[in-house]
Amino acid sequence: LTQDELKKIAAYKAVEYVESGMVLGLGTGSTAKHAVDRIGELLRQGKLKNIIGIPTSKKTHEQAVSLGIPLSDLDSHPVLDLAIDGADEVDPHLNLVKGRGGSLLREKMVECACKKFVVIVDESKLVKYLGGSGLAMPVEIVPFCWNFTAARLQKLFEGYGCVAKLRTSGENGEPFVTDNGNYIVDLYFKEDIGDLNVASDEILRLAGVVEHGMFLGMATTLIVAGELGITIKNK
């Protein structure tokens, strides 16, 4: 099975948790895309009714509009029944790294407002500890004096061999700009950063930081699709 086929399997399994009448957080990324497609299909077939979607990015908003999924926002629906979204990394405690697609702020706002948050991944996303994949730990920051903020983030974790890089987009190396008009600094660690809650607090305390991509203690269910089948883990 390809990685995308595994993502689709996990996504379709998660949509089995969706009931008519629900207000749903619609995730962002290549795995969540399959879940949103499936929700649109079930609505079209009349197997799901009266669904309201709260998108976690402009990209998901556009996908949902194209599928005819009725949409709203957190102002109108401050409490959601269920969110389905992917992750970049999942540790054994269901802590996540998200945001490599750049949507972490709206994802975290929506997913914090949900009674249930189902995370869908292929098995390649499982890690022993967050940051362990050696890939980016995203932090959304304001554009004002971004270099100052990036340097402070790097210094915060210098003991873990941290390197902070401004995320760029396109070939001309322009800064990547999020849906919210902010920048993203990607942190790369060489070692386990230890207590994630301490790390989270220290990052958020820096004026200039908007939000980070660690989703701690938020997921209620994890659906992993692997070569040997699907495993489901509840918090």
Which phi and psi (to 5°) does residue 81 adopt?
A: -80, -40
Stretch that binds ligand DER, among 22-30, 58-66, 110-118, 196-204 (CB under 6 A): 22-30
Q: Which of 114, 143, 130, 110 is nearest to 187 (CA)?
A: 130
Tell me whether residue 91 or residue 107 sits nearer to ligand DER (CB atom): 107
Catalytic residue, candidates 107, 111, 140, 211: 107
Strand partners, 50: none
φ, ψ at 183 (rounded to 5°)? -105, 170
- Interaction pattern, residues 184-213, with ligand DER; x per rule: CB under 6 A: ------------------------------
Encoding tokens for residue 106?
Answer: 């709206």
Looking at residues 105 to 164 of the shown chain, list those that interact with ligand DER (rule: CB under 6 A): 107
**Interface residue with ligand DER, options 28, 60, 63, 182 (CB under 6 A):** 28
**Strand ranges inside 125-217, DSSP E:** 137-141, 163-166, 168-169, 174-175, 183-188, 209-212, 214-215
Q: Which residues, at least 6 apart from 21, have a Cβ–Cβ distance to it below 8 Å?
A: 49, 50, 51
- 107 included as an active-site residue: yes
Contact, 185 vs 165, CB < 8 A?
yes
Q: Which of residues 56-115 bind ligand DER (CB under 6 A)?
A: 85-88, 98-101, 103-104, 107
Which is nearer to ligand DER, 40 or 138 (by Cβ)? 138
Using CB under 6 A, pick the residue from 12, 31, 80, 214 that binds ligand DER. Answer: 31
The count of residues interacting with ligand DER (CB under 6 A) is: 17
Task: Identify which range of 23-31, 128-136, 143-151, 163-171 contacts ligand DER by CB under 6 A.
Answer: 23-31
Q: Does 30 participate in binding ligand DER (rule CB under 6 A)?
A: yes
Q: Shortest approach of ligand DER to residue 232 CB, angstroms?
A: 17
Mind giving me the DSSP string for 128-143? SSTTTTSS-EEEEE-S
Min CB(150)–ligand DER separation in Å: 19
Q: With CA atoms as reference, report the closest residue to 92 among 44, 55, 125.
A: 125
User: Which residues are the active-site residues?
Assistant: 107
Could you list the residues that contact ligand DER (CB under 6 A)?
Answer: 27-32, 85-88, 98-101, 103-104, 107
